[in-house]
Chains A and B, each alone.
Chain A
Amino acid sequence: MNKAYNPVWARNEALRTAAQSWHRRGLLPLPQLQAIREAYPLDFYRPNIYLRILLFLLTTLGYLAAGGFVALFAYDLFDSVVPWREQAKIGVVALLAALAGQFVLYGIIKLSRTYRAGSDQALLYLSLSFAGTALYCFVLMLFPASTDLFTLTSPYLALWLVLVLALLLWATARFGDALVAALAYVVALLLLANALLQLTAGRLVLPFAVMALAAGLYRLVRYLAARTDYWYYRTCFVALEVLALATFYLGGNYLVVREGNAAIGGLLVSEPIPFAPVFYLLTALIPLFYLYQGLRRPSRIWLLTGLATLAFSGYTLRFYHSVLPPAVAGALLGAFLIGLMAAALRYLRTPRHGLTAAPNNDAGERPGLNLEALVVAQTAHAPQAPEPGLQFGGGQSGGGGAQGQY
Chain B
Amino acid sequence: MRAAPFIAELRDRGRLTPEQAAAIETDERTRPFSLHYEIRTLLYLGITLLSGGLGVLIYEHLDELGHGVVVAVVALLTAACFAYAARHRPPFSWGLVAGSSLLADYLLLLGCLLFLVLEGYLQAQYALFGTRYGLALALPAGLFFYLAYRFDHRGVLSMAITALAAWVGLSVEPLAVFKNEFLTGSVSRAAIAVGALLLLGGWLSETRHRKVHFAYTYLLLGGNLLLGTATAAMFTEVLQPLALLVILILAVSAGLFWYGRRVHSHLFLLLGATYGYVALTYGLAQLLSATGLNIVLALGLYYFIGSTVAAVWFLTHLKRLAGTAAHEQGL
Report which A residues bind B (CB closer than 8 A). Answer: 14-15, 18-20, 22-25, 27-28, 30, 32, 34-36, 39, 47-48, 50-51, 54, 230, 298, 303-304, 307, 325-338, 340-342, 344-345, 348, 351, 354-360, 364-365, 369-371, 373-374, 376-387, 389-402, 404, 406
Contact = CB atoms under 8 A, between A and B. Distances in A.
Interface of B: 2-3, 6, 10, 13, 15-16, 20, 23-24, 27, 32-39, 42-60, 62, 96, 101-103, 106-107, 109-110, 113-114, 116-117, 119-121, 123-125, 131, 133, 136-137, 153-159, 162-163, 165-166, 169-174, 176, 180, 213, 216-217, 220-221, 267, 312, 315-316, 318-319, 329-331
Contact of A28 (B24, B60, B116): B24
A384 B52 CA distance: 10
Given A330-B56, A400-B52, A380 B34 contact: no
19 contacts: A36-B10, A327-B57, A334-B45, A337-B46, A341-B39, A341-B46, A344-B39, A348-B35, A354-B33, A370-B220, A373-B217, A374-B217, A379-B48, A380-B52, A382-B51, A387-B133, A387-B136, A395-B173, A402-B53
Given A18-B6, A357-B102, A376-B155, A338 B113 contact: no
Contact of A374 (B47, B60, B106, B154): B154
Q: Summarize B's interface: helix, strand, loop or mixed.
A: helix
A27 B162 contact: no
A384 B117 contact: yes
A395 B141 CA distance: 12
A378 B154 CA distance: 11
A401 B49 contact: yes
Contacts of A20: 331
B307 to A, nearest CB: 14
Contacts of B20: 27-28, 32
Nearest to B3: A18
Contacts of A402: 49, 52-53, 55-56
A325 B20 CA distance: 58
Contacts of B101: 345
A399 B49 contact: no
B52 A382 contact: yes
Contacts of A376: 44, 109, 155
Contacts of A28: 16, 20, 24
Contacts of B174: 378
Contact of A401 (B52, B116, B120, B172): B52
A379 B47 CA distance: 11
Nearest to A336: B46
Given A327-B57, A330-B53, A338-B50, A394 B166 contact: yes
Contacts of A333: 46, 49, 53
